[in-house]
Amino acid sequence: MSAKLMFNSLAWLVWLAPFAGILAAGVTRRTDPRIEGDSVLRHDMAARVEHWATAISAVLLLLTGISLGVLFVPALLGPGVPIWTALNLHFAAVVMFLFGTFYYATNTVLSPKRLAEHLPTGDAVEYTKRHYGLLLGFKKFTMPPERKYFESEKMAYLMAAAATITIIITGLVKVAAHSMSVPGQLMAVVTPTHDIATVVMLAFIVPHIFFAAILPASWPILRSMFTGRVSLGYAQHEHAGWLAELEQIGETSDESNDDDVIQTPAPKRVA
């Protein structure tokens, strides 16, 4: 008995997914964060779609990928149906991951300020040490007013972005090998690189899930990934710098809904 591998029969979906993400971003109208009474809109619908499409698919990719065997870890699955099922699940996750990442990347191109708020500042290393020290309870320190994302999250963002780009490039070569003759020497480099990037992604996603979903202190922010909102009190306590920016921008700026218009605060330190 043999089975159809979607990487062969439906490979076109892999090439279609990035363009679907680009098109979706093109027709998406973003809503900027704003203060709404006693809550703050933190993630608009597009941000939540980006996050969950990427997150769910990344977890599925990691589970199926590791089950199929990564680097020196033997395959955990038996031959036949278990392996084919894992490969097909991996395929479905690939399509979802490509859509999510290209949707995010295109949204970022359309609105570069969203990238800027993810990039670490010069305080990143020191803030990160203090942030996790506070979370884990072995440091006593009053955090300076953080902006929308903690410096620690910005550091992790760089790692996740590097792993994601590597995984996508090497993964697309692996997909191409299903429909065209790719030199064995190239595959000998691509496959271990894909696996190493997988390990880096695992090193990102496990702490991310712990600090952003399991740790009770992070539950308000986890909830915001579903509702889009955090309470004003939470924003004041955890992201005072960001709240100050929102207050400064004003909650009813018509122009803020237009991603072709870039608004940046005047060059003064808010935090």
Partner 1 sequence: MTTSKRNPEGIITMKADHITKAPEASSPAEGKTFSRREFVTSLGGVGIGAILGGMVVSSVLLPEKVFAIPASGGYLLVDTKKCAGCTSCMMACSLTHHGETNHSLSRIQITQNPWGNFPEDITISQCRQCPFPACVEACPTGAMHADAKTGVRTVDEAKCIGCERCVNACPFTPSRALWNFEEKHAQKCDLCEGAKFWDQKGGPDGKRACEEICPMGAISFTTQIPAQNEGGYEVDLRTGTVWDTLGFGGAPQSGGHLG
Q: Which residues bind partner 1 (CB under 8 A)?
A: 1-3, 5, 7-8, 12, 15-16, 18-27, 68-69, 74-75, 79-80, 83-84, 87, 106, 109-110, 174, 177-178, 181-182, 184-185, 187-188, 191, 248-250, 255, 259-266, 268
Residue 67 Cβ vs partner 1, minimum distance, rounded to whole Å: 11
Please, which residue, 38 or 260, has the CB nearer to partner 1? 260
Please, which residue, 82 or 220, has the CB nearer to partner 1? 82
Residue 240: Cβ within 10 Å count: 17
Residue 205 Cβ vs partner 1, minimum distance, rounded to whole Å: 23
Please, which residue, 88 or 164, has the CB nearer to partner 1? 88
Please, which residue, 182 or 240, has the CB nearer to partner 1? 182
Question: What letter does residue 215 receive in the DSSP assignment?
Answer: S
Contacts of 121 (CB under 8 A, 6+ apart): 151, 154
| Residue 68 burial (C-beta neighbours within 10 Å; 0-12, 13-18, 19+) | middle
Q: How far apart, in whole angstroms, are the C-alpha atoms of residue 35 and residue 37? A: 6
Residue 112 Cβ vs partner 1, minimum distance, rounded to whole Å: 9
Please, which residue, 238 or 259, has the CB nearer to partner 1? 259
| Residue 141 burial (C-beta neighbours within 10 Å; 0-12, 13-18, 19+) | exposed
Residue 266 Cβ vs partner 1, minimum distance, rounded to whole Å: 4
Residue 94 Cβ vs partner 1, minimum distance, rounded to whole Å: 13
**Residue type, position 133, single letter:** G
130 with 150: CB under 8 angstroms? Answer: no
Please, which residue, 161 or 182, has the CB nearer to partner 1? 182
Please, which residue, 69 or 220, has the CB nearer to partner 1? 69
Residue 18 Cβ vs partner 1, minimum distance, rounded to whole Å: 7
| Residue 201 burial (C-beta neighbours within 10 Å; 0-12, 13-18, 19+) | buried
Residue 207 Cβ vs partner 1, minimum distance, rounded to whole Å: 28
Please, which residue, 98 or 221, has the CB nearer to partner 1? 98
Q: How far apart, in whole angstroms, are the C-alpha atoms of residue 35 and residue 38? A: 8
Q: How far apart, in whole angstroms, are the C-alpha atoms of residue 242 and residue 116? A: 13
Residue 64 Cβ vs partner 1, minimum distance, rounded to whole Å: 12
Polymer length of the chain: 271
Return the closest-CA partner of residue 156 out of 93, 110, 217, 202.
202
Q: How far apart, in whole angstroms, are the C-alpha atoms of residue 62 and residue 19? A: 23
